[in-house]
Chain A
Amino acid sequence: MTILEPREKIQKEISSLISMLDFVVNQTGLPIIKDQKNGNKLWVSTRELTLRYQIPINRTSKFFEGLKEGKVLATKCNRCNTVYFPPQDDCPKCKASSLEWVEIPPEGEVITFTKINVKPMSFSHYNDYVVGIVKMSNGVNVLGWINTDSPRIGMKVKLKVYERKPEGYLTYGFEPL
């Protein structure tokens, strides 16, 4: 159970395409293929761009510490009482910083949902998943996967921290109540 596992699967597919490109270059001296549908000539770039971002989280690191304790945390501005989820450490309304961290109550109700059938490349190793937006009992909306085959609007669900497989990292989602 690693992040490497799904990546290697994608890498295998890419490598087999590159082997075919090598064959074309060997035969013709150029990385030019023909579109199988319309016959248009295409230069297949010999340069690949792989991006994996490193996103700064210092200001919200308490959220991630919370996950380790099984808690999903939001921030709250003590001047205007706004609760922020996703959490942010600045309240732009009050121009205040260093907000208070509060736990999101676990119960909520599904206000809308979808089931993703056609998946992005980096999610292609998962089965179809249900994503919903849930109104929690404190009025804050949380978006996440709902672990159910029969989602419906108005369904009561429970927010919980769990391990995302196969990557093995902590995240949060919903279970039907």
Chain B
Amino acid sequence: MTRNVAIIGTGHTKFGVRNDVNLQELAWEAIKQALEEAGIEQKDIEYFTVGNVGMWSSEELPAVVIGEYSDLTPKGTMRVEAACASGSAALRDAYLAIKSGEADIALAVGVEQMSQSPTPQVVELIGRAGDYFWEFENFGLTFPGYYALYASAYMSKYGMKEEDLGHIAVKAHYYGSRNPYAQFQREITMEEYLKSRPVAWPLKLLDSSPITDGAAAVILASENIAKKYTDSPVWIVSQGVGSGTANLSRREDFTHIEAARFAAEQAYKKAKISFDESYKKFDVAEVHDCFTIAEIMAYEDLGFAKRGEGYLMAREDQTYIGGKIPVNVDGGLKAKGHPIGATGVSMAVSITRQLLYRAPKGTQIDVRNGMGIIHNVGGTGHYAYVTIFSTRRPEP
């Protein structure tokens, strides 16, 4: 048995340094909002999944700590980890629970509180995300460092310039300054971008998403139940998943993220969307711009641009509202912030609100086809989740 799955409620906290609350208080902010939006109570939720990477925060069993605080005990739960795609992994688990008929209403919450540890330790912990012994122990790679290996190779192969990456950062801050939930509320200029200090050549501070605290939640329901609670469900049409080698040196190509391409092909196939014309189907996209280079590769891995031409979309500002396809018009990871375990759920919240004309002023897209897509990558192409949403009920 497989069934249609709809989003019936969303919740999203302000992102940033959120040490005004602890981890469970932060998660509850998003959960409470989602419950109120859906018009349901905790007793209606049959199952919940928590996306959280942790390590930098004190709670080792975040799912049950959040369950207790949010009055969800004794419902079944688990914490899921897919690095920076943990939020999408949480969404997937809740989605499959409903799709399979195991539950009628489920909650996916993503939360991360990275400010509990000092920055050098956070840099250390994320740097260890890969092949620990052969990449970190002896060579001290960092998260920007891993993506910088892609940026150098891409620049060398296709002639992309620093300024092309700068366009991504400038766009992110342009929309971030219009999103009240975003960590960075200020626009930046190309000059500021070019002057920002290097963190891992060729990537600079202003190429990088920040260390962030934040939470996001979605409530999912089966078709029959969704009808009872809302007239405007947003459906999950399909999802594709993929993985990449732990060790980057085991990969052949450093100009695209193969796992993301693999996940996109699956999601498109299930949704009957042709790869080369995908951009025509979607009114809006949320892609994983943990670093500016990642957004450029995402354009290509999702088929919005041909191989080696993604940077031209940035150079020509084709991903602002009104362009070829609006991408990350909530500020993206770069300006909205990247609370690792929450990001995938935050993307789902942004797309849902966009498709329902509930985006903040200055960031609302025109809804034509009623479809949106999220591309959430964990680690450096270690995990990939591509999820397609629609306001139109899918064929079951």
Contact = CB atoms under 8 A, between A and B. Distances in A.
A120 to B, nearest CB: 4
Contacts of B145: 114, 116, 131
Interface residues of B, number: 42
A81 interface: no
Interface in A112-141: 112-124, 126, 129, 131, 133, 141
Contact of B149 (A35, A40, A113, A123): A113
Nearest to B147: A114
Given A37-B17, A133-B248, A114 B156 contact: no
A55 interface: yes
Contacts of B127: 120
Contacts of A143: 134-135, 139, 247-249
A35 B202 CA distance: 33
A42 B156 CA distance: 46
A117 B201 contact: yes
A171 B153 CA distance: 25
Nearest to B20: A40
Nearest to B128: A120
Interface in A44-98: 45, 55, 85-86
Contact of B140 (A40, A122, A142): A122
B20 A38 contact: yes
Interface residues of A, number: 36
Contacts, number: 104
A25 interface: no
A164 B140 CA distance: 13
A94 B148 CA distance: 35
A153 interface: yes
B142 interface: yes
Contacts of B150: 112
A119 B134 contact: no
Nearest to B121: A121
Contact of B254 (A37, A86, A133, A154): A133
Considering residues B136, B145, B249, which has the most beta carbons from chain A within 10 angstroms of its beta carbon?
Answer: B249
Considering residues A35, A37, A86, which has the most beta carbons from chain B within 10 angstroms of its beta carbon?
Answer: A86
B153 A153 contact: yes
Interface stretch (B42-50, B192-200, B214-222, B340-348): B192-200
A171 B133 CA distance: 12
A144 B124 contact: no
Contacts of B141: 116, 131
A42 B254 contact: no
B127 to A, nearest CB: 5
A117 B200 contact: yes
A121 B139 CA distance: 13
B273 interface: no
B142 A120 contact: yes
Contact of A118 (B19, B123, B202, B251): B123
Given A123-B140, A133-B254, A143-B249, A114 B197 contact: no
B201 A115 contact: yes
5 contacts: A112-B156, A112-B254, A118-B144, A141-B249, A154-B156
Given A113-B152, A114-B151, 7 more contacts: A117-B197, A121-B123, A133-B249, A141-B249, A143-B139, A143-B249, A153-B152
Interface of B: 17, 19-20, 58, 120-121, 123-124, 127-128, 131, 133-136, 138-142, 144-145, 148-153, 156, 197-203, 247-251, 254
> 5 nearest interchain CB pairs?
A114-B148, A123-B140, A120-B124, A112-B153, A121-B120
